[in-house]
Structure 1
Amino acid sequence: MKNALHKAIAILAVSALVISCSKDDNEVITGTGNLGIEFDNAFGTNDLILNTQANTTSNNEVLKISNIKYIISNIVLTKEDGTIFTYPKSESYFIIDEADPTSVVAELENVPAGNYTKVKFGIGVDQAQWELGATGQGDLATRAQAAGMLWSWSAGYKFVVFEGTFTSATVTDSTPFMVHTGQTATDYNYTEVTLDLPTKAMVRTTISPEIHVVSDVSKIIDGTYKIKLSDNNMGGMGAMIMGGTNLPLITANLNGMFTVAHVHND
């Protein structure tokens, strides 16, 4: 009798599970919700600490980073069925600043409910936006100016600002470095990255997922292309990279700077 009862209970449990799964598979997802993308800066495998942390590149240059900022833009989300949602362009420019904890999460509102499996975003301000002119920028130019991410209106936006001091085998005194990407006379240097999510971001009216992106800032100069600050040292001015042949290489490196660590669905 006990065995028969146990079997009956097991059958009921399995049936309930099958019905539950069937309901999940056929769930009608409607409405909108919010989604956050957190940018967590690191240097290699270490969480980034400004000013004091010694960070060594593959070229054996030791960096202390004082400033890292970048503009994230043109966010596009892809659902598991391939449907694409493009976040409104006018709201899709975020200035990520390691020194400002309130800036490191790009908060997206009114996202169509669904299960998302990919995110794409730009690094910098796309050329079409810049070509709208000063009056077509909304508050972007004002925010960029306040954040130190605008050279001047004619010169355009700074896409990435990477600054600090360094030493190397040939530069033994602590020396400033500045790496700024953006428009130059020959290249626009805007790029886009597409990342697969390890688990679905389940946007619902009652669920606001957060995608945790790790930004390995070492890749700026130590990615596919290895760039030595000491080769760009200008003596009393320090190492300055704001143009020239290195800037397109740095832009290419940015494609390997971002990875998704995990997704929170709560």
Structure 2
Amino acid sequence: MDWTEIEQGRTLSVPDRLSIRLERLILDGTLQPGEKLPPELELTERLGVSRVSLRQALHELERRGLIDRKPGRGTVVLSPADARDASGAALAEVLGSTGGEIAHILELRSIIEPPIAALASQRATPRDLVQLEQLVDEMASPESKEHYAELDRAFHQAIAQYTHNPLLAMLNEQIANLIAPSRSTALQTQERRDTSTAAHRRILAAIASGEPEVAEHEAALHIGAVREQIEHAAAALAAGATGDGAD
């Protein structure tokens, strides 16, 4: 991990900019659960920030349940799906029992994600909105099909994170693990990618404007469109066609 690559935004405080970039690395999987961050002094030198700013950023990520900090052990990355009691393991077992059926997964998404978007529209902070906007902007010119899939997953996980309810973030992370087959490049097309990006922009706009009903509606429309696109792509694949895109 090249820590010097963390860019600084212009509209937020230094701690907020740092927390956004570090959170992004966790959301997109660059920083994996269990991975240990460099010592604070080393990070401040690489990032060119004060120790106070870094500690404030890390405190924000700890408050959001994305890292765990303990004296003598350092800072360790957590997954939003890491449960702090037995309920997390039970949830994972129940969700895992679906066998990865895409139809079942999308049905679950249609029930869970629209209310999550509505709640995020009421709770997302300006700092949170910057993260969502950056994710959507990158979707316009992804480096690859795989990169787009990573951005897509990070966008939906960020929305759940911005309800500021750790249980919803945990649930969404478990669902995201099961969604992976629906993001397979074999089931994706350019049309699906463009449609999804446009839908993400509408969801973001609704969240940013604080309109829960609109956010819920746009999220529901998006999942419905994803279902139709996957069914079409799967049929084309079965007929011998190939595709490239994302959800």
TM tier relative to shorter chain: under 0.3
State the TM-score, normalizing by the size of structure 1: 0.24
Structure (1 or 2) with the larger CA radius of gyration: 1
Greater strand share, structure number = 1
TM-score (norm 2): 0.25
